[in-house]
Amino acid sequence: MSFESLGLMAELHRAVSEKGYSEPTPIQKQAIPVVLEGRDLMGGAQTGTGKTAGFTLPLLQRLMETSQPHKGRRPLRALVLTPTRELAAQVAESVRDYGKHLPLRSTVVFGGVSINPQKQKLIKGVDILVATPGRLLDHVSQRSVDLSKIDILVLDEADRMLDMGFIHDIKKVLALVPKKKQTLLFSATFSSEIKKLANSLLNSPALVEVARQNAATDTVTQVIHPVDKSRKRELLSYLIGSNNWQQVLVFTRTKHGANRLAQQLEKDGISAAAIHGNKSQGARTRALADFKSGAVRVLVATDIAARGIDIDQLPHVVNYELPNVAEDYVHRIGRTGRAGNEGEAMSLVCVDELKLLKDIEKLIKRDIPQSVIEGFEPDPSIKAEPINRGRGGQRGGARGGQNGGQNSGQKRRPQARRKPAAGKNPRPGKNARRRNNNGNQVRNAA
Ligand code: AMP
């Protein structure tokens, strides 16, 4: 099947073939005809399935087909909401690439950078806006954007937006867009929260699903390297050096851990950069660009910062530490093996993390093969210790977001209760507020 046979206009398949795609992916085959018909869509798609083109291509065509003459500034007609700045930037890049032969204008807005240049672009008039919810509302309040002419609304990675506590911002946006419009909602998981949102938002939607829920990507080879915690850094440097890996995405559990590891790798002579929520947007964009161009060999990231990172044919993902939330493992390894390419995901697992490993294997319904690296055999006399989750509980807090921790509709395992170590701050109280990725305050679900 070709892109032409899906009913896409010549300008779009030209753009697609210039990107080097010859055949639509399964989500594109299913979603494109439905969106072209003008129907609402509920899309269940794993990362790396090609879902961005799945909604962007038909969205561009719909805008062309339904375009009306207008007086003055061109009205904003399509809005794509994403949970993170990085994903917003990437979706905006796709909109630009796929729409390069069409006379449509697009831009992107997200927090963490100056609002004024964004305002300038919006005031000139755009057809398509990609935005994170918090910054979009800033623009609404400063009257740089008018949402009353929206024909197509896309909620990308809606599950993550709820996890990150954006539900109130989303509701505010929904109150500002016309009732009559086409709505597309994409989510990797279908929790009861997502179903509730979909029911209130979508009008007899077509349901398009391309992968089993929480199934780890089949094109990714997974392996566990058991190792002592104190030797993880050494093992990582050894694996990178001995295998001559040139582009490796490494996950840590905490921001502090990401910084420290990047510094240590640099000391080992391996160029590395860290990317996490405490870094300025400029630093994050630079780190990602350096990593993509090959100027930096290792990108060390926390879960939230890495969300949405899309690097063509990223061959290696390393879990330096396992995530506290098993679903994040699936998201992490989804960074490799994208769009049919082979990828390799390895996890350095110490004795403290065996419980987390069990949870992951239960979620993905398979045991991950283990391989001990010679010279790095774990010391069997070392006893498991509680895991340091970093300040504020990190993902635990964000996961709970506004929905009180009922994030995925799945049974949550009871969290081990631990006394805070002497002299350390206990986790913030129930009503403590913290800032989420977009600089908005969210209630901590600790
Ligand atoms: P996404 O799931 O939208 O993040 O896309 C994952 C990756 O697949 C991106 O790098 C896209 O550029 C790529 N991609 C999208 N559609 C196709 C296609 N039809 N053939 C090959 N690669 C694609």
Residue 327 has pLDDT above 90, yes or no: no
pLDDT digits (tens, 9 = 90+) for 75-106: 999 999 999 888 999 999 999 999 999 999 99
Mark whether 84 and 162 lie in a shared domain. yes
Q: Taking CA 207 as the corner, what is the angle to CA 203 and CA 213, rounded to the nearest 5 degrees?
A: 130
Mark whether 184 and 230 lie in a shared domain. no
Residue-averaged pLDDT of the chain: 82
**Where do runs of H (alpha helix) occur along 268-310?**
281-293, 303-306
Taking CA atoms only, the protein residue closest to ligand 1 atom 9 is 50
Kindly give the distance from the C-alpha atom of residue 51 to the centroid of ligand 1, in angstroms, as a whole number.
Answer: 7
Mark whether 262 and 161 lie in a shared domain. no
Which of 52, 90, 94, 220 to mutate for ligand 1's pocket (most ligand atoms within 8 Å of CB)?
52
pLDDT given at position 309: 65
- Domain of 336 in residue numbering reads as 216-446
Length of the chain counted residue by residue: 446
pLDDT digits (tens, 9 = 90+) for 132-179: 999 999 999 999 999 999 999 999 999 889 888 899 999 999 999 999
Mark whether 332 and 414 lie in a shared domain. yes
Mark whether 140 and 235 lie in a shared domain. no
pLDDT given at position 178: 97
Kindly give the distance from the C-alpha atom of residue 392 to the centroid of ligand 1, in angstroms, as a whole number.
Answer: 35
**φ, ψ at 369 (rounded to 5°):** -60, 145
Mark whether 161 and 117 lie in a shared domain. yes
Atom index in ligand 1 nearest the CA of residue 16 equals: 19
DSSP string, 370-388: B-PPTT----TTPPP----
Mark whether 203 and 225 lie in a shared domain. no
CA distance 49 to 114: 33
When divided into structural domains, the chain yields a total of 2
| pLDDT band at 310; cut points 50, 70, 90 | low
Kindly give the distance from the C-alpha atom of residue 212 to the centroid of ligand 1, in angstroms, as a whole number.
Answer: 19
Residue 5 has pLDDT above 70, yes or no: yes
pLDDT digits (tens, 9 = 90+) for 402-429: 333 333 333 333 333 333 333 333 333 3
More confident residue, 130 or 336: 130
Of the residues 209, 229, 246, the one at which a domain ends: 209
How large a percentage of the chain has pLDDT more than 90?
A: 55
Cβ atoms 373, 232 nearer than 8 A: no
Mark whether 249 and 398 lie in a shared domain. yes
More confident residue, 119 or 86: 119
Mark whether 374 and 443 lie in a shared domain. yes
Kindly give the distance from the C-alpha atom of residue 295 to the centroid of ligand 1, in angstroms, as a whole number.
Answer: 23
Which of 19, 28, 59, 219 to mutate for ligand 1's pocket (most ligand atoms within 8 Å of CB)?
19
Cβ-based neighbours of 71, under 8 Å, separated by 6 or more: none
Of the residues 191, 209, 227, the one at which a domain ends: 209
Mark whether 77 and 169 lie in a shared domain. yes
Tokens in use for 10? 């010549």
pLDDT given at position 314: 73
pLDDT digits (tens, 9 = 90+) for 355-379: 999 999 988 888 999 999 999 999 9
**φ, ψ at 52 (rounded to 5°):** -60, -50
Mark whether 179 and 226 lie in a shared domain. no
pLDDT given at position 414: 35
Atom index in ligand 1 nearest the CA of residue 339 equals: 8
| pLDDT band at 287; cut points 50, 70, 90 | confident
For residue 264, the domain's CATH number is 3.40.50.300
Whether the CA torsion 382, 259, 188, 388 is positive or negative: it is positive
pLDDT given at position 131: 98
Angular region, 112: left φ>0, alpha ψ -120 to 50, beta rest: left
Q: What is the dihedral of CA 186, 157, 50, 183, to 10 degrees?
A: 30
Which of 21, 23, 309 to mutate for ligand 1's pocket (most ligand atoms within 8 Å of CB)?
21
Terminal-to-terminal C-alpha distance of the chain: 49
pLDDT digits (tens, 9 = 90+) for 429-444: 333 333 344 333 333 3
Mark whether 429 and 372 lie in a shared domain. yes
Cβ atoms 226, 378 nearer than 8 A: yes
Kindly give the distance from the C-alpha atom of residue 338 to the centroid of ligand 1, in angstroms, as a whole number.
Answer: 7
DSSP state of 177: S
Q: Is-above-0.75 flag for pTM? A: no
Of the residues 151, 186, 209, the one at which a domain ends: 209
**Residue 14 CA: distances (Å) to CA of 25, 31, 72, 97:** 17, 19, 31, 11
Kindly give the distance from the C-alpha atom of residue 266 to the centroid of ligand 1, in angstroms, as a whole number.
Answer: 32
DSSP state of 431: T
Taking CA atoms only, the protein residue closest to ligand 1 atom 5 is 50
